[in-house]
Structure 1
Amino acid sequence: MPESPSVPGSLQVPLWRALAVFRFASLAYILLLALRNARDYAHPIAAALVLAVMVAWTVFTAYAYARPERRRWPLLAADLVITMAVVLISPVVIGRPALAAGVPTFAVAWSGAPVLAWAVSGGRRRGATAAVLLGAADLAVRESLTQSSVTGGILMLLAGVAVGHVTRLGAIAEERLQRAVELEAATRERERLARGIHDSVLQVLALVQRRGAHLDGEAGELARLAGEQEAALRALIATRAPVHGDGGEEVDLRTIIGRYATATVSVAAPATPVPLPASAAREVGAAVGAALDNVARHGGGQARAWVLLEDEGQAVIVSVRDDGPGIPPGRLTEAAAQGRLGVAQSIRGRVTDAGGSVEITSAPGQGTEVELRVPRVTS
């Protein structure tokens, strides 16, 4: 799973620091081996040059990988290529007789550094790819294939997969922690606003509704509207904000549908959560909102609406029914031909994008019922 470069404070930062320590520790081990086996090398001067390149590259990568913007393909590819070159040049500089006698190659543990770098930057697959390439290079310099010669490659492969998996889990944990912090902050702000609204706006609206409930004319209409807005505000501040996640997360559809409850809109939902992928839930909620907008627009402000949420296990059904004037036969087709695509796009289009279907039942003078059906995708 490719990941974006780390940012300051990321959970990947300790992994990059640990990788830098590993590079220097493995380099120190190689230098000690070189001092011990220098007299067995076929070309000691060339060996010294190779070791100098390894020292310079270790210092450079420790600096380069410390910068998040540099942890990209140019540096990752160069790291792998240089390490492979060190492995492939070992038989020439050290000499095959010395290698056959048990003298280790230049890379030894140092060759694991690019494997770990690829794993931290891109997860299991990228780490495994680097391990396979370096393992193939190591086997290419050996005259015979033995159990001990394969062990190093297997260890690198396991390290790449393990570190890549840990890195992926860290990235997921970091994303969830960030969303939890944002949700907590949003919830606290919502509660603060709810307290302010309850102590001011709702009190005024309730007062207007009580004082004008028995009046006729515009004063009575004003009191009625104040009562509707009071009910809408109370439902809004009492409903928990839905969690905004990606398409793979699930949210409770009740929290989205419940926002539309007002004095003229009744919402009925199961007592238990109705989970649905976040992207599908948002589309269904927007489609319900569009249907209720049509009720308010074409019902003359007097129509009532009922929203029913049902969970059938394999599918979720939302029905929006009203007691308005209804839709004349052919009206929807005529509106689409005139370019008025409210129903086609705001309702049908949204539900279709969520993998569902829409059925509209209406007759003049008998209201309208819009049924939204969204199937659950089972893995």
Structure 2
Amino acid sequence: MYKKLISFLTIILFCGQVKAQNREQLIFDRIEYIFNLKPTIAKKYWKGFDKKKYDVPLIYYTDTESYIANPPKDFINYYKPTLVSQNSNIRIYKTTKRFDDIPFHMATSFGIDESTDIIIRPTPIMYCSSFEVTSKKIPESTSTEYWVTMIIHEYFHGFQFKHKPYINTVLKKTGSVSEDSLSKIFKNNIWFEEKIKKENDFLLKAIQSKNSQETKINLDSFFISRKERRLETKSKINLEIDDIEKIYETMEGTARYIEYNLQVEYAIRKPDKKLLSVDTAYHSYQVFRNYKIENDPWLFTPGKRYFYATGFNIVRLLDKLKIDYKTRLFKEGDLSLDEILETNYKKKTAPNMGLWQVGADGSN
């Protein structure tokens, strides 16, 4: 009887170990899947995104543990984490305890994050909660694929911040005014909200325009309205928002652009056989097969963090008008999306230069 009990307990212990190993392997497989998407995004949507010099550490939180993908040497030397998985592109470590008690993470920070007590040399760090934790916090996150779109959005912030001219500008100009400050202005001032929505409508009409005259009319209206709103904000609130708005519009608009294009990519991508065999939350992109941007109005319509949508729509318009911006943004630290649009707009509409050359189908 005693021997049978020992055997039974041994089996239970062994099964528990197998489940723990499988659960941990799923973490490794999901991280690998994320990394494997980078080359496609770099090739199709933003050149250089997958370069090693733009990679940032990823701190991955479960409800009880923390894992770190590709940490810098000073992190390893300080925390002494255990290497638990590696391949040619990824080194994943595990710490003896969770870094903090914050229930949910999905963000990218620069430098020391006081909320997590993580000490690391000034470098961007990407934080994410596991799919299981995220799906409880965000009910819309019903699949691994959807969860990954949020992670890629944050990884793109890491890409942005790894450009020294850009991060220097961000740190210099965002010290006293945060994106939350802009959100509060939007939330607490009806006139401001109405003007933002009006500007966004002009951008959407310019995107949808079928000829150069329509494009010009809507861009004229957009720039006039934007200038008036910024002057009115300075007059009524005693705050100049030009620089800070340009920074967050560029930062979040381009990250949303990458997030959106990953969903476009899902619509045509073949299922990942390896992940399909181990991840029950991975649904082989089925929900994205007939993806249309019209089904996600949150992408292009402004909420309280309005600069996500306006920035995203400026990027869409730059693409439509075939204006180069990807080779300059972030490398030229002070450069913003609306400056690129306005500069090229003035060149195109200068006397004797003609109008925007937009075809009947809306293309150049």
**TM-score, length-normalised on structure 2?**
0.23
Q: Which gives a bigger RCO, structure 1 or 2 (Cα 8 Å, sep 6+)?
A: 2
Higher helix proportion, which one?
1
**TM-score, length-normalised on structure 1?**
0.22
Q: Which protein shows a greater Rg?
A: 1
